[in-house]
Amino acid sequence: MNEYIPNRYKILQKIGEGVHGVVLKAIDTTENNKVVAIKMVSLRTKFGGISPNTLREIKSLQHADNEYIISMLDMYPDLSGLALVFEYMPNTLYSKLKDEENPLSRQQIQSYTKMLLRGLSYLHDELKIMHRDIKPANLLINEHDVLKLADFGLARLYNPDEPRKCYSPQVATRWYRAPEILWGTQIYGPSIDMWSVGCVFAEMLRGVPLFSGNTDIEQLALVIRTLGTPSTADWPEVKNLPDYNKISFPNSKREEWVKIFPSFTTKEEIRLVDDLVKYNPKHRLTASEALCHEYFG
């Protein structure tokens, strides 16, 4: 932790507030008034001590060194906890998608998707970290239109040599949550992030979320209505998922992707969605494989 004068950071305004704390826009007076974002994280939990999510975020970002992952510039103690200092990113993919007056261009969609995959490829292959909460609000975009992964509060190290290791099923925002998680599995890997990438990519193409259920059951119903009832021939493990037999859904046939995307969507774009939004986690492209997809030319 750096030592510096107490007034190093001059607060400009509050720019966000979430479960884990307040985010402030500030300038670093020792770095030519560079604009930064300061995330104020309380250390007061109901169990006492530092929150596991805060620890995960700090540990993940301390090891990350990639142009498509948000940079943590500094960290210092605050009266109620810790202040994490990040590079300032004025936009999120969520805010870009909500801007109806300036819809994303095809070039932006391709560029953002490639940057997301490069960041995830680094996380998965180099650091062996699952992000576990890929969604538009956690993908930040700077003034040069560079997209970076942020919010590592649910990130977790994984060991590819321990494929049966159990993790929490309480991960990922519902609309971007892989079906195996919705069916209660605690055994999963980086492929849950790739399902989320497929959902985010589809949302950029469509302008609206691919699956937007209000409950986990409704979310599964929407997935089944689109992908059809999962086949045990294609995904033998599905019948062993903890919650698979707790509720039955009507048998459904797979919907054609072309019917739920704009008419100008290309075959390559639809194929990338199809290669990511697959029931069987083993059949989803990895981030590295997706970067070699025909969609990117």
With vertex at residue 296, the alpha carbon angle to CA 295 and CA 297, rounded to the nearest 5 degrees, is: 90
Query: In the annotation, is 133 catalytic?
Result: yes
With vertex at residue 67, the alpha carbon angle to CA 196 and CA 269, rounded to the nearest 5 degrees, is: 40
Distance of CA 167 to the CA centre of its chain: 17
d(CA 212, CA 177): 10
Nearest to 178 by CA among 286, 94, 278: 278
> Binding site annotation covers 39?
yes
Two structure tokens written together for 288: 């590295």
In DSSP terms, 40 is beta-bridged to 22, 83
Q: CB atoms < 10 A from the CB of 67, how many?
A: 11
Under 8 Å between Cβ of 226 and 278: no
Could you write out the DSSP letters of every residue in 208-270? S-S---SSHHHHHHHHHHHH-SPPTTT-GGGGGSTTTTTS-----PPPPGGGTS-TT--HHHH
Question: E strand or H helix at 139, and its extent?
Answer: strand 139-141
Under 8 Å between Cβ of 112 and 204: yes
d(CA 34, CA 25): 11
Work out the widest C-alpha separation in the chain, in whole angstroms: 65
Catalytic hit among 28, 133, 151, 275: 133
Residues that constitute the known binding site for ATP: 39
Q: Which residues are catalytic?
A: 133
